[in-house]
Structure 1
């Protein structure tokens, strides 16, 4: 079971119950939701956090809490979760950071470490990234990670989502 991943500047580890208030605050921050058609409110973010903990219990891996080099404050999340897509199992790569962490390369660093771990430990299940086509910052992260466009779908909420694989 994964205990932690260290990068040059970051520490990634499984979520703990104590991370809930900070992560719910990140999940419900309007700035982190500007590209979501239906952003989560408090109860929805709490439920999402519950599903992350449950995924860890069921699979032994999942989304990770990300911490920076100089502060014990939670910066955000990165990691992979099991997901059904296009008739098969994939590992959905997720990343979301507090606005104070934007612009420092943390998303690329954390996501790259998450993908490297997943490809090494969970192969041959492919890693997939799904991004709203209007979310240019996230599309730049995908590009820097070296993922290739795979498919584009329209979600039930009207958002057009581009899916990428490496």
Structure 2
């Protein structure tokens, strides 16, 4: 399988490359950005996590993408299908650097990743595992057309709220795929 390059009106999503480390490590060093996704990480830990993400592309045919602003070429986050060992389900997750918050990038990028997962990975469901107090991510999930499904525990025992939707729901006119906003090109 060829690694995807997804484009929306404002963003490019592609597998991480070595040059993404500064952005990746910067996000992981910002407590506001990682408070709900495992906490602060050193630059070396961020590199290991980025390398794991790259490796997941080879092992699973899916993983997080680096999110790049088209206009500036700036790395603004990571979004994509996430299916590690012991996963609760077929997840699309997101993490955007605080400097890019409030622009709708998480929703725009996740919309593209969900379409790709349904169309190219043949996933029948996409979920989002979210900490209960993470109101911003819950809002993103709802903008995507996902709804609360259940509380569950990740492989490390952490309790999360699981939002999601089926491929059939995604393809209906009221789904997140067809709501207003930039769509994948």
TM-score tier (shorter): 0.7 to 0.9
Determine if contact 1:78/1:95 at 8 Å carries over to the other structure: yes
Shift of 1:110: 0.3
Determine if contact 2:27/2:34 at 8 Å carries over to the other structure: no
Aligned to 2:109: 110
Aligned to 1:60: 61
- Kindly indicate whether residue 131 of structure 2 is the aligned counterpart of residue 132 of structure 1: yes
* Cα offsets for 1:55-101 (capped at 9, x unmatched): 11223331111111321110111110224445xxx322111111111
- CA–CA separation in structure 2 for the residues paired with 1:146 and 1:68: 24
What's the secondary structure of 1:134's corresponding residue? coil
- CA–CA separation in structure 2 for the residues paired with 1:126 and 1:164: 11
Aligned to 1:77: 78
Gaps of 5+ in 1: none
Out of 134-143 and 14-23, give the one that drifted further. Answer: 14-23
Aligned to 1:26: 27
Gaps of 5+ in 2: 166-185
Larger strand percent = 1
Aligned to 2:144: 145
Determine if contact 1:37/1:159 at 8 Å carries over to the other structure: no
Number of equivalent positions: 163
Shift of 1:40: 2.8
> What is the TM-score with the length of structure 2 in the denominator?
0.78
- CA–CA separation in structure 2 for the residues paired with 1:51 and 1:57: 10
What's the secondary structure of 1:25's corresponding residue? helix
| Structural RMSD (CA) | 2.2
> What is the TM-score with the length of structure 1 in the denominator?
0.87
Shift of 1:111: 0.3
Aligned to 2:7: 6
Determine if contact 1:10/1:69 at 8 Å carries over to the other structure: yes
- Given the superposition, is the C-alpha separation of residues 154 and 122 from structure 1 closer, same or farther in structure 2, using an over 3 Å criterion? closer
Aligned to 1:39: 40
